[in-house]
Structures are given as C-alpha cells and as structure tokens.
Amino acid sequence: MEFPFDVDVLLPERITVLDQHLRPPARRPGTTTPARVDLQQQIMTIVDELGKASAKAQHLPAPITSASRMQSNRHVMYVLKDTSARPAGKGAIIGFLKVGYKKLFVLDDREAHNEVEPLCILDFYIHESLQRHGHGQELFQYMLQKERVEPHQLAIDRPSQKLLKFLNKHYNLETTVPQVNNFVIFEGFFAHQHPPVRKLPPKRAEGDIKPYSSSDREFLKVAMEPPWPLNRAPRRATPPVHPPPRSSSLGNSPERGPLRPFVPEQELLRSLRLCPPHSTARLLLATDPGGSPTQRRRTSSLPRSDESRC
C-alpha cells in the first residue's frame, strides 16, 4: 500500500511499533525532513488507510482500526514496511497487527466463568498482493517476542477463517474452547494463566437448578433469636373486660349506642300522618289569621292518645 509521502523516511525500521500517542519514531542520523511537514498527521493517515483496507478485506461495515480509536485506547500497532524498491521511490506498507489487553469473562473446560485480562489480537491485515510470502508470520513472530507471550495465551477477537488457518498452520492452534462472546481462545489458554480475579462456579444442568439449596431451606426453618436485651419481650397488660368509655372532649368521638332497627317506609309515612303537630305548631296555627277554621278544628279534634304515640 503506497502513500503520497515518503514512508521510508517516516518509518525507518522494517517493523514500527505505534502506541496511542502515534508519535513518529526516532530518525536515523543524517536524514532530513522537508519543512512544515506534520509527521504525526502522516502516521494518522497510514493508520486510517490500513484500517479501511482491513475492514474491506474482512467485509466489515466499518473499520475497527483508526487513528481516533488508537488515541482513545491503550492498543499497540505493529506496522510492516516494504523495503524493496518502488517506482515512486517512497516505500510502501505491507500490513499491520494490532493488539491490546482486555478484561474478559471466558469459560474454561468445565464451563466455569473466569475473569482474565489477556493480550488480544484485535486486527490483522496483510495486503492481498503480498499474502503467502511469509510477511504475516514475520510480523506475528515479532509481536510475540516483543510482548513475551506464547500463541496459546492469546485471545482473538472475531477471527476470520484465514486467521484461524494461519494459526493452525504456523502455531498448531486447532482445538478451541467454546465461548459465549466474540473472542476465541485455544486449548492451553489456562495452563499458564495467573489466578483469575474472580472465578464463578460452573453452570448446572437445567434439571438441577433449584430456587435455593437444601441447607438454605434448613436454615429458614430455624427461628433466629435476637440478642439480649432484644430477646426480652415486654409483658403485655391484660386488657380489661369492659373497656372504659371514651371521653367526649375535643379530639375524641363520643361512644355511640346500638343502632335502631330499620323501620319500613310505609309504616314511617303512616306514623307521620297520624302524628299530631307539636304544641308550638298548634299555637302558631291558633294565632295565624290565615289559618283556616277547618284546619284548626281538625287539629283540635285529634284524640290525645294519638299525640302520645308520637
């Protein structure tokens, strides 16, 4: 992959290691740089173009390697340069390998969850015209020596079929440990791992899953006694047989007696018709000039026994 600027001057070594700062490496003695050239911008251009080429080769919807992603993560990028002569005389890039440490939850052979932080292969690309020339193995082996890891200790993020065949051919990595995420680990991954930060018990079969264990059920049957003096319950006073009547002062409602039995509507109306008016009403009728003599005679002619019934 060629660029409009001089790659040989920008990347003097055959394999250049770039971190999140994307700073240009130290230059060889005696080399000069054209004036007003932003070397860091050129490195960012190389990273972006390599990420696009890798995404296109893997049929990804978007690049997973870019200068902005490198600056926001603690990843390391190994860039392989072509030292052979080019028509333009500016050199070219063969490919790259991006790695980084990630905290993962992975399953072991017993399907137990382990929290580990291995070195992960995040992106790997060799130009299509230069594949099967040993460049990929050269770049991968350089990374292993630089990071001081073994191939079976790596975790690979969504590896392609080409990468799986590459690892099987050159490093005899074939048997994988099934995972529930996108990372792939191989047999022997846990052989030299440090004790994990957190290790969960292995999963049970669906038929063995219970809401709680038998020991928990026995524990629930035992009544836990609170410590002293909370275990000394206060004595309850014996309630009186006849509770004292409530006071009718402000804030307390008076004691109500039993309700009267229900009176039918017809009987109530009949009693109202037979009930004579009150003595005060009789006096008002006698003094009322508008009252009719018939009404006065009807009132005075009622027997006294009916009046007592009301």
**168 annotated among ligand-binding-site residues:** yes
Interval 26-68: pLDDT, tens: 765 555 555 445 889 999 999 999 999 999 999 999 999 999 9
**64 annotated among ligand-binding-site residues:** no
Q: Quote the pLDDT of residue 191.
A: 82
Domain membership flag for residue 236 = no
Domain membership flag for residue 205 = no
Q: Quote the pLDDT of residue 2.
A: 86
Range of the domain at 11: 7-186
CATH of the domain at 77: 3.40.630.30
**130 annotated among ligand-binding-site residues:** yes
**166 annotated among ligand-binding-site residues:** yes
- Separation CA 308–CA 2 (nearest Å): 125
Closest CA to 160 of 75, 57, 77: 57
Return the percentage of the chain with pLDDT > 90, whole number.
41
278 — pLDDT class (breaks 50, 70, 90): low
Domain membership flag for residue 40 = yes
Q: Quote the pLDDT of residue 88.
A: 58
Domain membership flag for residue 159 = yes
Higher model confidence: residue 4 or residue 288?
A: 4
Domain membership flag for residue 252 = no
Higher model confidence: residue 92 or residue 209?
A: 92
Domain membership flag for residue 162 = yes
**Among 31-35, 127-131, 144-148, the least confident range:** 31-35
**124 annotated among ligand-binding-site residues:** yes
Number of C-beta neighbours around residue 282 at 10 A:
16
> For the chain, what is the domain count?
1
**36 annotated among ligand-binding-site residues:** no
Domain membership flag for residue 68 = yes
- Judge if pTM exceeds 0.85: no
**291 annotated among ligand-binding-site residues:** no
Longest pairwise C-alpha distance within the chain: 145
**160 annotated among ligand-binding-site residues:** yes
Domain membership flag for residue 279 = no
**136 annotated among ligand-binding-site residues:** yes
**126 annotated among ligand-binding-site residues:** yes
Most confident of 20-29, 49-58, 262-271: 49-58
Asked if the model's pLDDT at residue 19 lies above 50, the reply is yes
